[in-house]
Amino acid sequence: MTSRRSQILNAKRSVEMVVLPLESGDVKVEVRERNVAQQFDLLEKARRPDGSIDTKLSGVEGIIACCFDPDTGDPLFTDADRDYILEEMPASLYWILSRAVNKAAGFITEEEEVADLKETPPDATSTS
């Protein structure tokens, strides 16, 4: 029988696979749960001088920290991509990635994801 301690120490971080529907073809992205050090680093980067968290910046930092190429294992984004994510990435792609980041971290459950999908705003790039 495995002890509780062993079970906890052998726990694996969550990994989500998402597909980004792009004009050039679908792109698979591996979204990995952050470890504790990465989570605290993200919170420090996103902390405002008054102590509150800048949710826009925390979302971007989560994407930078958690999105990987599933074939190579390399990060898809770096700190140098922060401005691109904030200012140029289509909101529909950001929405897909940020939802996967939050799901991998356990911040949303399957039930919450289904409910959230019902309230998701239409694709801002849609022309219909």
86, part of any domain: yes
79, part of any domain: yes
6, part of any domain: no
40, part of any domain: yes
Residue numbers of the domain that contains 113:
33-119
pLDDT at 77: 96
Name the residue with tokens 């140098």: 80
96, part of any domain: yes
Residue 124 has pLDDT above 50, yes or no: no
- Tens digits of residue pLDDT in 81-103: 999 999 999 999 999 999 999 88
Mean pLDDT of the chain: 84
**Confidence class of residue 115 from pLDDT cuts 50, 70 and 90?**
low
Cβ–Cβ < 8 Å for 14, 105: yes
Q: What is the mean pLDDT of residues 26-55?
A: 89
52: left (phi over 0), alpha (psi -120 to 50) or beta: beta
Residue 107 has pLDDT above 70, yes or no: yes
Percent of the chain with pLDDT over 90: 39
81, part of any domain: yes
Three-state secondary structure string covering the chain: CCCHHHHHHCCCCCEEEEEEEECCEEEEEEEECCCHHHHHHHHHHHECCCCCECHHHHHHHHHHHHEECCCCCCECCCHHHHHHHHHCCCHHHHHHHHHHHHHHCCCCCHHHHHHHHHHCCCCCCCCC
78, part of any domain: yes
14, part of any domain: no
Number of domains in the chain: 1
- Tens digits of residue pLDDT in 57-84: 889 999 999 999 999 999 999 999 999 9
